[in-house]
């Protein structure tokens, strides 16, 4: 199996992974043969990459951070919770819907159970095979990534739970933002941007008195756009004034936004996003937390096609957790672009003279 930009996918190729809806429902199963119509519709729905079956990469399995049932449950709950808030703008009746906090906690427990079963899991892009309302999948991604970082940091179970709930609901205030602003395909005007920024305060006021939601989780919604040097919003907090959980969420919120394709913005690849985040080290983001993040994110995801400094084309087979920039790859074509009859694996952590020089180098032949 390999991960291919949808721009390089061709009719006749077969899916290697399922495509889900925003409710976690399977829209397309494995082995579905792509057509021009399917490729076009998937691209129109924000799908950047597809996992494609390929004999040359047989045995390469792309791990899922959450099992299928957990992802389905999580997306469905996020969708229902957010829609409840959308249907009651400016809601004031605290405790009117106690099931919201209860349902969110149930989902967080399932997410935490999945992640704790594989504490060494790396942050892998999760939005490659979901046709979704951006806000729902983004909320789940930020929850999963933040929780993985919390595990790496050494938080206990209760701390991880609170961090995860705060991350899951960090953008709930966007339910109170005008849909015209929230879904605008182009650049926001100054007035629209000021309106968008209010989602942090509105999220806090939605959550601060919510039954079964901690006040710290509400502050995650309030503070996730604050920055270390005081240039963030809504209050311009600095350094230690920002809660640690909000600092983690701020990093992964930015990362997921950078690596997601939007109508008005082409997605970055993971290594590009990490580089961009580090440009704000110590000013926008906490440096120590960025280093933990860098060590946990798969900058070259399993299945990605890369070009080596030798000119050969390869596909990432496995991640070296001690050296994220030097994964194990399977060489599938020589420097002239000719397919190898016998592809072979190469551990770049042991072949230090060979570097990755390019990702998604061009058209790829899939048998």
Distance (Å, whole) CA 20 – CA 69:
12
Please tell me whether residue 318 adopts helix, strand or coil conformation.
Answer: strand
Whether 63 and 302 have beta carbons less than 8 Å apart is answered as yes
**Segment 130-174, tens digit of pLDDT:** 555 678 889 999 999 999 999 999 999 999 999 999 999 999 999
Max mean pLDDT among 69-83, 177-191, 235-249, 259-273 falls in: 235-249
- Is 45 within 8 Å of 131 (Cβ atoms)? yes
Rg over alpha carbons for the chain, rounded to the nearest Å, is 21
pLDDT score, position 126: 62
Q: How far is CA 313 from the centre of its chain?
A: 26
Q: Which residue has the higher pLDDT, 324 or 235?
A: 235
CA nearest to 73, candidates 118, 25, 116, 29: 25
β-partners of residue 308 are: 356
Residues 274-312: tens digit of each pLDDT: 999 999 999 999 999 999 999 898 888 888 899 999 999
Tell me the HSE value of 34 on the side-chain side, using a 13 A CA sphere: 26
Q: Which pTM was predicted?
A: 0.85
State the pLDDT at residue 88.
66
Beta bridge partners of 265: 262
Quick one: pLDDT at residue 158? 96
Distance, in Å, from the CA atom of 258 to the CA atom of 276, rounded to the nearest integer, reads 9
Domains of the chain (ranges plus CATH)? 2-62+304-359 (3.90.105.10), 68-296 (1.10.3210.10)
**Local structure of residue 328 (DSSP, 8 states):** E
DSSP H helices, 198-347, are 199-207, 215-223, 244-258, 270-278, 287-296
């Amino acid at each position: 199996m390999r991960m291919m930009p949808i721009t390089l996918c061709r009719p006749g190729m077969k899916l290697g992974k399922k495509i889900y809806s925003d409710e976690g429902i399977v829209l397309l199963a494995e082995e579905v043969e792509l057509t021009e119509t399917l490729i076009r519709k998937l691209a129109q729905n924000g799908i950047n990459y597809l996992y494609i079956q390929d004999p040359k990469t047989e045995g390469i399995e792309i791990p899922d951070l959450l099992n299928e049932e957990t992802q389905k449950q999580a997306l469905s709950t996020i969708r229902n919770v957010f829609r409840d808030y959308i249907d009651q703008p400016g809601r004031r009746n605290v405790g009117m819907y106690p099931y919201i906090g209860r349902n969110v906690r149930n989902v967080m427990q399932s997410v935490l159970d999945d992640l704790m079963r594989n504490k060494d899991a790396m942050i892998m892009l999760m939005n490659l095979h979901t046709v979704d309302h951006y806000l729902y999948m983004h909320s789940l991604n930020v929850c999963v990534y933040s929780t993985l970082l919390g595990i790496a940091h050494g938080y206990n179970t209760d701390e991880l739970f609170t961090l995860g709930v705060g991350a899951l609901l960090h953008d709930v205030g966007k339910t109170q933002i005008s849909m015209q602003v929230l879904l605008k395909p182009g650049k926001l005007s100054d007035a629209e941007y000021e309106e968008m920024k209010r989602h942090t305060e509105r999220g806090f006021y939605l959550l601060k008195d919510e039954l079964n939601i901690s006040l710290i989780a509400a502050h995650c919604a309030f503070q996730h756009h604050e920055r270390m040097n005081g240039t963030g919003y809504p209050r311009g907090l600095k350094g230690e004034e920002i809660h640690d959980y909000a600092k983690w969420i701020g990093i992964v919120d930015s990362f997921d936004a950078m690596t997601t394709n939007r109508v008005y913005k082409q997605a970055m690849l993971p290594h590009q996003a990490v580089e961009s985040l580090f440009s704000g080290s110590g000013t926008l983001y906490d440096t120590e937390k960025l280093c933990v993040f860098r060590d946990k994110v798969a900058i070259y995801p399993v299945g990605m096609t890369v070009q080596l400094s030798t000119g050969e084309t390869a596909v990432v087979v496995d991640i070296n957790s001690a050296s994220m920039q030097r994964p194990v790859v399977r060489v599938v074509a020589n420097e002239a672009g000719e397919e190898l009859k016998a592809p072979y694996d190469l551990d770049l952590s042991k072949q230090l003279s060979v570097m990755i020089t390019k990702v998604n180098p061009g058209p790829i032949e899939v048998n």
